[in-house]
Every structure is written in structure tokens, then in C-alpha cells.
Structure 1
Amino acid sequence: MDTARGVACLLVAVICLSCAAAAAARSPAARMHRHLKRLNKPAVKSIESPDGDIIDCVHISHQPAFDHPFLKNHTIQMRPNYHPEGLYDESKSNVASSSDAEKPMVQLWHQNGRCPEGTVPIRRTKKDDLLRASSMRRYGRKRHTIANPMSVNPTLLNEGGHQHAIAYVQGDKYYGAKATINVWEPKIEQPNEFSLSQLWILGGSFGEDLNSIEAGWQVSPDLYGDNNTRLFTYWTSDAYQATGCYNILCSGFVQINSQIAMGASIFPTSSYSGSQYDISILIWKVSK
């Protein structure tokens, strides 16, 4: 009887410990830890930016994009198989002089170092970044409700607090676009506000099947926790519902450049009646 009682007590204790471990694994803190681990890959080198960001130099084949099962054993295309007509091509000898060529983008973290070849710089996601989001699932994602920028003539619009100036073309087949964007640091004063300037390529409708590729600069305290002007990309294939994210916060965007970090601060920025700075964004579709 005593032996049976002892075995029963031991079994109850083991069950209780198992339940406690399972509950701990489901706790918000544990889920946040797992989410941060998925986003922040082991770094070959880490660089602290003057603005407090940590830039992790991650091996190119270990970036978050390759967490997607469709990209298992994916061969990284290090160079496009062609360049659009008129674009600077390193493989050609008759290129513009260095004085005519566009200057490379400078980001604030460059002041403290660079990532080695074979790695990609990734802005480290911190606990505070996740806590600012409405949920961990929605971190780095846009809301589905978004104004249609082509619903009226290009002008200054103000729809439900969303104010924007636009210029666009439509009605033909487009395989890419390029924009040179002046870089500013507008001050954001209200919660949930943001400011951006971007190149935006769209396909489909704004209902359910919108395909969108976006790139430019943005100031978004909700996403980054400060008022810095930052380089960003965004993509979606279903009108911002279940797919897509900013930068490389989900699978789908493969980076090959070792010098530019998505989501990192651009420096310097333009000033009124002072020096002007810009970035050039080029997006084009390559043939398979």
C-alpha cells in the first residue's frame, strides 16, 4: 500500500511539473523569446550604431528568408542576369566616370564598422520593438485597411488622417521603375503617426489580390522606437492581409548586399536652406 501510494505521489508530481513546464512554454515571455530567436540569427560580427541599434553581420545563407520551406536548398543569385537599358553595369567598360556615378548610400552604423563579405547586415530586433506592436504576429506588418492612392487625380490628399502627395503612371506593362528621393527627417509628434517617401510598384486590385513592392525612407516611432529616418522595404501578395512585412522581418526578401541594412538609419539627411541628400531606389523584374 505504501509503495503504491509513493508511486501515485511521484506520478502526480511528474504530471504537475510537466504541466508547469508546458504553461511556461506558452507564456508571453517564452513566446517573445522564441520570436526574437527566429528573427535574430547568430552573427559573425555585431556593430553598435551611434543611435543605439545593433547591426548583426549574419552569414548570407542564414538570413531569416531561408526559414521558409520553399527556400530550402535555394541557390542565391548574387547578381542579376541582366541590367535595364541605361543602367550602370559593372561588366561593361564604357561606364560613366566616378564623378558621374551615383554615390553609395551612407547609414549611421557605418561610423563604427562594416560587415565582411559573405554576410548581410541585419538590424537586431529588441524586446521593446515587439512590445510596441499590437501583437507579435502583427509586428512589422501593415494593417489591411489602406487608402487607394490612385482613386483620384495626383494631388494632396487627406483621407481619414492619411495625407499624401503622389504621382503615378498606369495602364501599360511595367517591368521596373527608378526614383531618386530627397531624404528628410520630419518630426513625428503623435502616437501611431509616421512619414515616408517611397517608390511603390503595384499589381492587382486593392481588394484581395494586391501585389505590392515598396522601398524608400520612413520615420516610424511605432516600428523603430525613435524619430530617425530609415531605409525600408515592404512587400505583400494579398493586399496586406496574411503575407508580407517590412524589411526582412519575415521570409520572402533575400538580401545579398553586405553594406546596407534594411531598417537602419540613413545619415546625413537634408536640411532647410542647407545641404541636400538623396537616395536612388531601383526595382526591376529579372527574367528567369
Structure 2
Amino acid sequence: MKQTTNTILMIRPVNFRMNEQTAINNYYQKVLDGILPSTVNNKAQIEFDAYVEKLKSYGVNVIVVSDTNEFDTPDSIFPNNWISFHQDGTVALYPMFAENRRLERREDILTTLEKQGFLIDNIVDYTSAEEEGIFLEGTGSLLLDRVNKKAYCALSPRADEDLFIEFCEDFEYTPVVFTANQTVNNKRKAIYHTNVMMCLAETFAIVCLSSIDDKKERKNVLKHLKEDSKQVIDITEEQVNNFAGNMLQVNGANNELFLVMSKAAHDCLTQSQKSQINNHCKIISSSLDTIEACGGGSARCMMAEVFLPKE
């Protein structure tokens, strides 16, 4: 098994804006006053294109599919929430909290991958859980340690414990469950996605330990990471607010490892944190200010990792 891949699927936005349906429990979204929706979308496209070019320049294989105008899908730029791809040729489809996000699921995207020589043997579809108001938003909710077969999940309105356990049984992962909180108007509220406060790489993990309020749960997360010989790099809640948890390790040219993050995430890291990361791999960062502000997601959310076997 591999923890990282060289192939990334990304969706280029056509109607990107702040999604009012996700803002209910995504406290990172902001309204950009006085800016026309078309301007917001235009800025997001510029950031998206520059980000893709940067990844490609390091040898990452990026498959770009454009969103369509068929539906109103303001968050389509974050495909990792509705789909995940696995090394045995399995694809998982996930139930989404926001109704307009369910429209992002597109069969033609699977066809595109198959045309590029990727093999899809099996589809595991959890989407019927939406009818019961139960959600598990892909690798936003699930952090997969593919090598050690462990899945980390911070429970929230978008990550149901029973469905998470079901996923772990289906894919043979050991579940590591906890709750991660952030302070919103002086109250502790669940962070909407695990991948906002934690990132798993081959030899290290970035995690906001202070967001796991329950000491037992925090100890358990640390125990699992240390058991698997991962160096733990702790980040603060303030850094989480700048998307320092929303990073992904990828393979570039000659299998070189890189940690991908936004410019905001990179800029908020301390010198010591950067050198700890650099001991393991190089950093790639790209400016995603508009996407982060309106979408409440960052570099990690924009990349769906393709682990499918090739013909």
C-alpha cells in the first residue's frame, strides 16, 4: 500500500461563491462584501489555474475536469468530499450535508478516469444515508493512513460515527474516533471536517492537539500516530484558522514527496514548524485567498487523490 499518489483529480469551478448551505456549520466561510459573484468566480479560477500549474511544475499528474453550468454547485472545487479512490480499484461515494453539494457527484468523471487508463472495479455507494440525514464527507471527514490501515475521524454534523465505522469495516481500516472543536463566539463547536485540523503524511502528522478537548481522545490519537512512528507536528487553533491543517502530501517527479498547502497556511507556520516539515519533504504553496475566504476550504480540499490501478 502507498500513502501518497502522483495523480490528483481537480474540478475547475464555473459558479464558485460562498455556499449559504454549508455556512451553517463551516465557520471558516466569509462573505466578501461588495464583490460581484462573477468577480469571485473569476478570482477563484485564476487561483485554481495557478495552483494546477504549480503542481504540474513539480511533476504532479493533475487531471482537471471542468464543472458544468447544469446545476448550481458553488463548492464543486472541493471534490474530495464526495468521492475517494482506492488501490484495489474501488471507488467510494459519500453522503453530503448540503443538498446543493449532492449535485457535484458526476458519473462522467469516472468515465474520464477510465479513458485515461484507470481501472474501476467496484463502487461502494453510501449516498442513500442522505435520506436519513446521515453524512460522511469523504476524505474531508476521513483521514486515511493507507499503509497502517487506520482511519481518523473527528465527529461532526458531517461525520456520523456509525457510518464511519461501517466504512472502516467495508475497507478494513481501524477506526480512530474523536471530537475536534474550535471556539466560535466563545463557544466550543465541532470543526466541520477532520482534514481542517489534521494532515497525515508518510512519516509525520500535522495536528491541532488543543482542538481535541477530551484528554483521553487526545491521548488515543497520539498513541496511534506514535505507534506508527509518525513525528507529530502540533499546530495552534489560530493556525487552523489559516488552514495550516488543510495540507496534503503528494508525489512529484521521480517520486519526490511534497507537502502541498496554501500561501496563508505556509505564512502562518513558525520557522521551527517549517523546518520540521522540511526534514521530511519539500513544501509547495500557492495563494488561495478567495477560495479559502468564500469556500471555507483550502489546498487539501481541492485535491481528490487517485490511487486506482492502471491498465
Shorter-chain-normalised TM-score: which range?
under 0.3
Q: Which structure is richer in relative contact order (CA contacts within 8 A, separation 6 or more)? A: 2
Q: Radius of gyration: which is bigger?
A: 1
Q: Which has the higher helix share?
A: 2
TM-score of the pair, normalised by structure 2: 0.20
TM-score of the pair, normalised by structure 1: 0.22
